[in-house]
Amino acid sequence: MALAGVGDAAAVTQLIGQAIGLVAMIIRAVDTVRQNRLECEHLACRVSTVDGVLSNLPRDQEMAPPLKVLKNTLEEAHRMVIACQNRGAASHFFGSRRHADCFNQVNNRIISDIVILNLSLNSYMARRHSNQVLQPSHIGVPTATIAMAPWPGSSSAPLQTLMVVSQQSQVSSISSDNPRALTWAEIAAATSFSVELGRGSSGRVYKGRLQFQFHFHHGTEVAVKVLEKHRRQGVEDAFMAESNILSGLRHDHIVRLVGWCAEQDYRMLVYEHMGKGTLRDHLQHFGGGPSSSPVTTSWETRVEVLLGVARAIHYLHCGADPLVIHRNVSSSNILLDGANWTPRLSGFGSAVFQAAGVEEHGGQLVEEVVGTPGYIEPEYSGTHRVSAASDVYSFGVVVLEALTGRPPDIYGVTLGLLVDSVLPSVQEGKLREVLDGHSALQPTPRQMEALDLVAYTASRCLCPRGHNRLAMSDVVANLHRALQTIRSN
> Which residue ranges make up the annotated binding site?
225
30-40 burial, b if ≥16 CB within 10 A, otherwise e?
A: eebbebbeebb
Annotated binding site for ATP: 225
Find out whether 355 and 302 touch, Cβ atoms under 8 Å.
no
Greatest CA separation for the chain: 100
- Write the single-letter amino acid at 143: T
- Write the single-letter amino acid at 456: Y
Find out whether 163 and 145 touch, Cβ atoms under 8 Å.
yes
- Write the single-letter amino acid at 243: S
User: Are β-strands 144-148 and 203-209 bridged in parallel, bridged antiparallel, or unpaired?
Assistant: unpaired
- CA pair distance 48, 40, nearest whole angstrom: 12
- CA pair distance 239, 258, nearest whole angstrom: 14
CA terminus-to-terminus distance, the chain: 100
Distances from the Cα of 484 to the Cαs of 306, 308, 349, 388, in angstroms? 13, 14, 34, 27
Element (H, E) at 461: helix 445-461
Nearest to 463 by CA among 393, 394, 413: 393
User: Are β-strands 144-148 and 268-272 bridged in parallel, bridged antiparallel, or unpaired?
Assistant: unpaired
SS3 of residue 417 by DSSP: strand
Phi-psi region of 134 (alpha: psi -120 to 50; beta: other; left: phi over 0): beta
- CA pair distance 231, 249, nearest whole angstrom: 27
